[in-house]
Structure 1
Amino acid sequence: MSLPDRKAIKDLFEGLLGRDVEIGDATPITLDHPRPVIATYVDDNYKLTAIALMDLHLAANAGAAIALVPKGGAEAAIEDLRLPPNLFENAAEILNVLAAPLGDAGVHVKLSSTFAPGETVPPQVEAVAVTLGAREDVTLDISGYGSGRLALVQVPA
């Protein structure tokens, strides 16, 4: 399995959101408060292969943009440091679609689970999520909404 390149990430977000998205470098996402939305991906043998982290800003902005929720809904979530259930569900759907570019010709990858900010995350997932090895950390700026960070972390074999 290999991580998707930045063009694939940008294209996926633009296609899902129907908006222009700018992509750039980002500092690694941590598990500090506010905690990110975390997604786990497995192969056909249910082996953990990748983890995605979406910070509160991106989860709120992308979750609002995909459902055409006014920008104020995302801003309120960010201000309150709390992701409402509807924005979490929308962000989780984006993370589900992200499984496609995470796979490659030899490995089929599917979303296994998503964790909302504040939910208990298995220790193994937390340990891999903060690994600084094979990962891609990017900033995505969604036209009309705002920016946030996404991290894709490859699980060591």
Structure 2
Amino acid sequence: MSETVLPSAQEFRELVEGLLGRDVQVLTGGRIIDPAEPGGAMVGAYVDRLLRLRALVVLDLAFAARCGAAIGLVPNRISEGDVDAQELSDTLAENAAEVLNVTASLFNTGDGPHLRLDGVAEPGQPLPHDLARWVKAYVPRLDLTVDIAGYGEGAVSILLIP
């Protein structure tokens, strides 16, 4: 069995476009997301069948709100309200968590270990210690700026845990 492969920016864009049914622009070289910044971040933890942490996907508050609104066909003004208030509503958080769940498919390619979403830390919640140490670490990672047509942009970081 080989190791988990870091998905490409194009693979992430195609997944999000297919999921949201909207055009999505992705730029690489985005900022590293800090869950301690105002508004926080949504963090999805992915584990293998032995429950070993293998990957993280970090969504800044702006992307979590905007993708949560887009997938639920909620008007953009609702996501903008959450971004302005720096607080993610329960509905948009639940929708963004579903995006994180589907994102697991990006890791399940080739003969690498099968990963699944194990849990989600929502913005404003303290990150569990085992996740917090990896979010800003220099590990194989892809830091993206993602712009959802009609909703706006946010940041996404995809990390592999060695």
TM-score normalized with structure 2 length? 0.93
In structure 2, what is the equivalent of residue 22 of structure 1? Answer: 25
The answer to which of 31-40 and 108-117 deviates more is 31-40
Q: What is the count of residue pairs matched by the alignment?
A: 156
Q: What one-letter code is carried by the residue in structure 2 that aligns with 1:30?
A: D
TM-score by length of 1: 0.96
Q: 2:16 maps to which residue?
A: 13
Which blocks of at least 5 consecutive residues in structure 1 are unaligned? none
Question: Which of 136, 157, 160 is the matching residue for 1:151?
Answer: 157
Deviation at 1:22, TM superposition (A): 0.3
Runs of 4+ in structure 1 deviating by more than 2 angstroms, as ranges, are: none
Aligned equivalent of 2:135: 129
How big is each residue's C-alpha offset from its partner over 1:127-153, in whole Å with a ceiling of 9 and x where there is no partner? Answer: 011112211000110000000000011
Q: Which runs of 5+ in 2 are unaligned?
A: none
Superposed counterparts of 1:58-137, under 5 Å: 58-106=63-111, 107-137=113-143
User: 1:46-94: CA deviations, max 9, x gaps?
Assistant: 1100011000110011000001100000100000000000000000000
Q: Percent identity?
A: 35
Deviation at 1:122, TM superposition (A): 1.2
Amino acid of the structure 2 residue aligned with 1:71: N
Q: Report if aligned partners of 2:139, 2:161 keep a CA contact under 8 Å in 1.
A: no
